[in-house]
Amino acid sequence: MSRNSLWIIVGLVGLLSLLPLVGGAYALRIGTFASMYAILAVSWNVIGGMAGYPSFATAAFFGFGAYAGGIMLAGGASLAFATVAAGLMTFIAAFLFGVVLLRLKGHYFAIGSLAVAEVLRELTNAATELTGGGMGLNIPMSLSLKSVEGEAQFIFYVMWSLLIVTLMVVIGIEKSKLGFGLRCICQNESAADMIGVNSTLYKSLAFGFSGIFVAMAGVIYAGWVHYIEPPDVYDILYSVKPIVMALLGGLGSTLGAVMGAFLFLGIEEFVWRNLLNLHTGVLGLLIVVLLLFLPKGLVSFGSSWLGKRLIRQNGGSRD
């Protein structure tokens, strides 16, 4: 990652932190979603952009985190405990599942990861005693804050802090041996094997990292909205939107994921407020236009680092 990119990220995140000073409840809500979307997109990029495995498992991680954390919160656990616990559980589960799932490639992996989300949703639905099943889960969270505004601010800062943590870890991965190895795997997995990369280990770690912060975001989301149900938190759109955000900003780039997330949120909010009936259709249109006419995303407007070619397995790019 170049110096410029890092500074742009710091700038964007810094600007975000100023939102509570600017506006009231609406600004806080937007800001919280901005942070959450960025967490999802940046996390997905680890497995989808860096390693080149098109994962549709984000909804599985988010839903699992929301429920695991939600159940703990409803049981009286602190937000910190629930977040960390759910995150760790997801990391381990994703890692173990990844060992098996990541033997698949391309479409098969995409479907497999999608199927995991579907199965999880159905299992959650069925485990009525634990999760409330189709009737949903109520999550009363007692914070010492009395006001609604106070709670909104609190949630915003928590989500924002999680974004900072996510960025630090992911950027750290990018610069590390793991990141280097993932880029090699992405471009030529058999060549990577032959030079000594333990692909299975690296891919599984990437899958784990792509899930841990998403799950944590799910916990915070659950504590924020106080009521969750399976079709809500396991919604396939939670798998698709981060992909669109990452593609919007530029595949393989953390900065691209952040920019894509913010831009996507902006478009989504505009459409919600003005074209409610058409909002899924407009999202679809956005996707089509994006993929047909802007395949390299926003980042390509910036650096001209030697034509990235999309017609290969998402060659790892360094912005």
The residues of the shown chain that bind other proteins, judged by CB under 8 A, are: 48, 54, 100-101, 103-108, 110-112, 115-116, 118-119, 122-123, 126, 177, 180-181, 183-184, 187-188, 190-199, 236, 240, 243-244, 247, 251, 277-281, 283-288, 291-292, 295, 306, 308-317
Smallest separation, CB 232 to other proteins (Å): 15
Task: Using the minimum distance from each CB to other proteins, give the nearer residue, 42 or 183.
Answer: 183
CA dist 139 and 71 (Å) reads 8
Smallest separation, CB 178 to other proteins (Å): 11
Smallest separation, CB 130 to other proteins (Å): 16
Per the CB < 8 A criterion, the answer to whether 19 and 156 are in contact is: yes
Smallest separation, CB 307 to other proteins (Å): 9
Per the CB < 8 A criterion, the answer to whether 262 and 8 are in contact is: no
DSSP 185-242: HHH-HHHHHHTT--HHHHHHHHHHHHHHHHHHHHHHHHHHHSEE-HHHHT-THHHHHH
Per the CB < 8 A criterion, the answer to whether 217 and 167 are in contact is: no
Task: Using the minimum distance from each CB to other proteins, give the nearer residue, 27 or 240.
Answer: 240
Task: Using the minimum distance from each CB to other proteins, give the nearer residue, 170 or 241.
Answer: 241
CA dist 163 and 174 (Å) reads 16
Task: Using the minimum distance from each CB to other proteins, give the nearer residue, 193 or 269.
Answer: 193
Q: Which of 240, 183, 188, 236 has the alpha carbon at shortest distance from 206?
A: 183
Q: How does DSSP classify residue 137? A: E
Smallest separation, CB 64 to other proteins (Å): 15
Task: Using the minimum distance from each CB to other proteins, give the nearer residue, 148 or 306.
Answer: 306
Element (H, E) at 117: helix 106-126
Task: Using the minimum distance from each CB to other proteins, give the nearer residue, 181 or 223.
Answer: 181
Structure tokens at 142: 């007692």
CA dist 190 and 209 (Å) reads 23
Structure tokens at 179: 């990141």
Smallest separation, CB 157 to other proteins (Å): 33
CA dist 164 and 151 (Å) reads 20
Smallest separation, CB 187 to other proteins (Å): 4
CA distances from 62 to 87, 121, 142, 166, 201 (A): 10, 11, 22, 15, 23
Task: Using the minimum distance from each CB to other proteins, give the nearer residue, 69 or 297.
Answer: 297
CA dist 25 and 7 (Å) reads 29
Task: Using the minimum distance from each CB to other proteins, give the nearer residue, 129 or 144.
Answer: 129
Per the CB < 8 A criterion, the answer to whether 286 and 247 are in contact is: no
Smallest separation, CB 201 to other proteins (Å): 9
